[in-house]
Structure 1
Amino acid sequence: MKYSNPVISGFYPDPSICKAGDSYYLVCSSFHYFPGVPLFESRDLINWTQIGYCLTRKSQLELTGEGASGGIYAPTIRYHEGRFYMVTTNIKMGNFYVWTEDIYGEWSEPVKVEQGGIDPSLYFEDGKVYFMSNGVSDDGIEGITQCEIDIETGRKLTASRSIWQGTGGRFLEGPHLYKMNNFYYLMAAEGGTEYGHMVIYARGSSPYGPFEGYKKNPVLTNRDKGGYLIQGVGHGDLIEDKKGNWWMVHLAFRQISFWSMYHHLGREVYMVPVTFDREGWFSAGVNGMTPLSVETDRIPEGVIQEHRTEYTFHNMDWKKDWCMLRNPVMENYTMGDGSLRLRGTAVTLGKTASPTFIGIRQKEMKVQITCEVTVTEGEGGITILMDEFHHYDLALKKLESGGFLLQKRVCIGDIKYLQESFELEDKPALTAKLTISGDSSQYRFEAVVEGKDIFLGTNKTKYVSTEVAEGFTGVMIGLYAQGEGKACKEPVLFENFQCRYERCTLE
């Protein structure tokens, strides 16, 4: 069969994968969004369903005042003796892990590990638990650092030792250790999570090495491949399927076009086959790179890759599909069956506190978002949000002096301006049907108010791209409410939300 990449589209970076029984489980980074660490399940590796989050309580995930791209970095998920473990970094508190015996339930309180660096991982063998991250060893050597820990307490049982220094590329990160074919394989990423990104590996005879690098490193990369949509290939994790085949899940991103080096959807989840040679070294992908489509006989016959194209309040789960900024004040959110009420506060989208905001990741470039917004006090609308400094807002605003304003505001770094504003009549409440349509190059903003069509202009996608905004996130489609310098008594009502996608499969 032929499957297409990405296998999980939208801002879901740094994927890590494990298997338990007949199912596969995958987690991704979440940075300053709450709940933290999206959790997915699959039976066939190409169709994934989000089943929740690993970090659902403030006691697990402290994000107060965290700016964009702070918070949670690069988790790893592992399954061992009936328990799932998710280990990650919170920039505020360092490295920690949580665990659960019920993948659909709540996870434990954080167990902190006193080893620095980021991108932690776990490896279990013969009663020992190895903890590794990128960083500096106890004797001052930079590289992939490893110690043994007590899995019940997180206490270090050995010194942190540097076990590999990579191949010389910058930003050595994302280590994972495996045992296959009587060798220990240490896989990592180099080149920075951008256009020079790549996956590398080495192997040795013990968990501490010494490790011999693969002679054809990098084993997977799309670097220096011009005129190609998929770029930034790196940060991988390996999994053996039910038939004994090996695969790599990894992050990459899609440019907005073949020759335009901007991406705004964020880093997504891709998958390629892995093949071992007679000497036990493995190669990955198609000639060491990741394509948009993969022809393979490894996926069982009858499996069809599904591409969901419509999302509404009725077919999404508030606790699984949506997320908020930092630690939300839940009293300001009323999530009903087919409707949403948000109570605005003085905190706006441009602040590093928690505005009244709830969002989903934009999953494809070609999108149409519509929602009916009813305002009686304050402001409510739809935002195309990359971070607090880069967003496009389509808003309906109640004036304290009477009347309403329909506005489109633009924030691009230090440039903040009101692009369009229409005065509307005074009444107790007003409903507007807001629409944002997007393709790879631009967003188009429209509204219908009391039967009147209003066009509010267009804005380029590249100004909310990673290349402009920097950071590690992707565009979120957000619904929000805010007050005019104060908290509102009356909530904004959101109804008939619909987000439709058309997937581009050009190669």
Structure 2
Amino acid sequence: MIYHNPVLKGFYPDPSVCCANGMYYMVCSSFQYFPGVPLFESKDLVNWSQIGHVLTRPSQAALEQVPSSGGVFAPTIRHLNGRFYMVTTNASTGENFYVYTDDIHGAWSDPVAVAQDGIDPSLYFEAGNAYFMSNGTDADGVNGVVQCQIDLATGEKLSPSRCIWQGSGGRFLESPHLYRIGDWYYLMAAEGGTEYGHMITYARSKSLWGSFTGYPHNPVLTNRNKAPYPIQGIGHGDLVQDARGNWHILSLGFRQQALWMAFHHLGREVFLTPVTFDEEGWFTAGTDGTTAECYDIAGDFAQKPLPERSFAAPDWYREWCFLRHPRMEQYGLTQGSALLHGTEVTLDEPGSPTFIGLRQQDFSGTVQCVLELDKGEAGLTCYMSEQEHYEVALRRGETGITALCRLNIGGVHQIQKEIPLTGNSARLVIRMEPACYHFSVVTESGETHLGTGQSKYLSSEISSPFTGVILGLYAVGDNTVRFTNFSCVYTET
């Protein structure tokens, strides 16, 4: 079966995977968005369905006033004796913690804190013992991949933190994961920063405490020297074995807008790369150490295209997200419509505006929605951060209701066009292309183009955050706005 990368499109960075009950389960970072840590299920490592989120209660992660790209970083999911564990960092509070559940489709526990610094934590289980690792500083002040034994029931450290590897020499050593395969312990990590120099490296040892010997040909996987090439930033991976005994790395990566357009605004996505072990126990990955656009793997299944998103399903909002901790009384989410109650909090500030969004998953497509407005402002947004977002909206001014296109770049607002409406209802449309967004309004008189925004200004290369564009509904002011007939359809590339 030939599959195409990425296997999960859009802003789903830092993937981690585990196997249980004949299924694969994956988690990804969520940063300032709530619910936190989207959770996925798959039978084949290629087709992923979101089954919920891990952090569904505000008490599980403090997100108040967290700026863009703050909040919940780099989760790891593991399974032991029927129980799932998810360990992560709240980078804004500096806390490493884990939660657990015995029902992967149910609620997760309150956080259990671990008093070890660093980010990108992981868990390893062996012989009834639990080990916690992160990229941090050990008890002697040595930086690197740091590990300690913990009491899994309480999070209490049972041993001092000890540095077990300092990487292959790349900057920003992070994302450590430990595996026992045969006689060897393999320690896989990321280096180079989650940008164009990103890479996956590893080392191995006969002891889980080391010393670890680096793979002689590190990095084992990177696209940093494949330029020009649309797939870049490959790194931060997790190793997984499929039901046929074959090995793979699930990693993050990103797609440039085009061959010679080095901007990415969809965020870091999930890529699948095959792994092969040699007779000496070292493994190689991908196509000469790089991740390609497609691979042929064993299996009788087909890769599914992106579905159309709408309000039609009873639980359509399962994949949607809010900014920070929402006040749920501001939302009425039912099959067929979304009722949003606005406040004075806007998209320009690190609070929790009335906003619900869906990750943009491909470069080309159309988003549209009908809304009714009596006062204030409401519309559709292409949201990257408080400083960078584009809107097509309706608002009531002194002379009545108008439709407008507004670009916010670096905190500078520009209204490209604003026209009066004769009624209080209209269809707002965003047409997406790799290089730009086109905004328009549709009334009984027809469709009127209101403006265009270049997507590069919502990219991580220009905008400071390293998340991805969220396509959202929002309302501002003392108003109640009903959104209906929502549709998001992609022309897949």
Q: Same fold (TM over 0.5)?
A: yes
More divergent stretch after superposition (440-449 vs 112-121): 440-449
- Using the TM superposition, give the Cα deviation of residue 314 of structure 1 relative to its aligned residue in structure 2, in angstroms: 1.1
Q: Quote the offset at 1:177 in angstroms.
A: 0.1
Q: Does the alignment pair 1:471 with 2:465?
A: yes
> 2:87, 2:99 within 8 Å by CA — same for their partners in 1?
yes
> 4+ residue runs of structure 1 moved beyond 3 angstroms?
none
Residues 297-342 of structure 1: per-residue CA shift (max 9 Å, x gap)? x2x12x0110124111114734521100000011100001110010
In the TM superposition, 1:3-402 aligns within 5 A as 3-91=3-91, 92-296=93-297, 298=298, 300-301=299-300, 303-315=301-313, 317-399=315-397, 401-402=398-399
Ranges in structure 2 where 5+ consecutive residues have no aligned partner = none
CA RMSD across the alignment: 1.0
The answer (yes or no) to whether the contact 2:441–2:449 under 8 Å persists in 1 is yes
- Is 1:6–1:269's contact at 8 Å kept on the other side of the alignment? yes
**How far 1:259 sits from its partner (Å)?**
1.1
Q: Distance in 2 between matches of 1:445 and 1:102?
A: 43
Q: Distance in 2 between matches of 1:377 and 1:334?
A: 18
Preserved CA contact (<8 Å) 2:223 2:234: yes
Paired residues of 2:314 and 2:334 also in contact (CA < 8 A): no
Number of aligned residue pairs: give it. Answer: 492
Give the counterpart letter for 2:465 in structure 1.
G
- Structure 1 gap ranges (5+): none
Deviations for 1:39-73, whole angstroms, at most 9, x for unmatched residues?
00001111100000000000102100000000000
Give identity over the alignment, percent.
53
After TM superposition, list the pairs within 5 Å mapping 1:365-444 onto structure 2: 365-399=363-397, 401-425=398-422, 430-444=424-438
- Alpha-carbon contact 1:309-1:502 (below 8 Å) kept: no
Q: Secondary structure at the match of 1:453?
A: strand
Relative to 1, partners in 2 of residues 1:331 and 1:39: Cα closer, same or farther, differing over 3 Å? Answer: same
Secondary structure of 1:463's aligned partner: helix
Task: Give, in whole Å, the separation in 1 of the partners of 2:250 and 2:362.
Answer: 19
**1:320 aligns to what SS in structure 2?**
helix
2:45 match: secondary structure: coil
8 Å CA contact 1:52–1:319 kept in 2: the answer is no
State how far apart, in whole Å, the 2-side matches of 1:503 and 1:424 are: 34
Report the counterpart of residue 452 of structure 1 in structure 2: 446
Displacement of 1:77 in angstroms is: 0.1
Q: TM-score, normalised by structure 1?
A: 0.96
Q: Distance in 1 between matches of 2:183 and 2:314?
A: 45
CA displacement 1:433-478 (0-9 Å, x = unmatched): 0000011111111111233321112111101111011222000000
Q: Is the contact made by 2:18 and 2:240 (CA closer than 8 Å) also made in structure 1?
A: yes
1:408–1:456 Cα contact (<8 Å) kept? yes
Q: Secondary structure at the match of 1:387?
A: coil
8 Å CA contact retained: 2:230, 2:256: yes
Contact 2:315–2:335 (CA<8 Å) still a contact in 1?
no
CA contact (8 A) 2:388 2:411 kept: no
Partner Cα separation in structure 1 for residue 412 and residue 425 of structure 2? 29
50 and 391 in structure 1: CA distance in 2 versus 1, 3 angstrom threshold? same
For 1:135, the aligned partner's letter is: G
Letter of the aligned partner of 1:84 in structure 2? Answer: F
CA offset digits 1:258-279 (Å, max 9, x no partner): 1111000000000011110000
In structure 2, distance between residues paired with 1:14 and 1:93: 18
> What is the CA–CA distance in structure 2 between the aligned matches of 1:482 and 1:138, rounded to whole Å?
50
Displacement of 1:93 in angstroms is 4.7
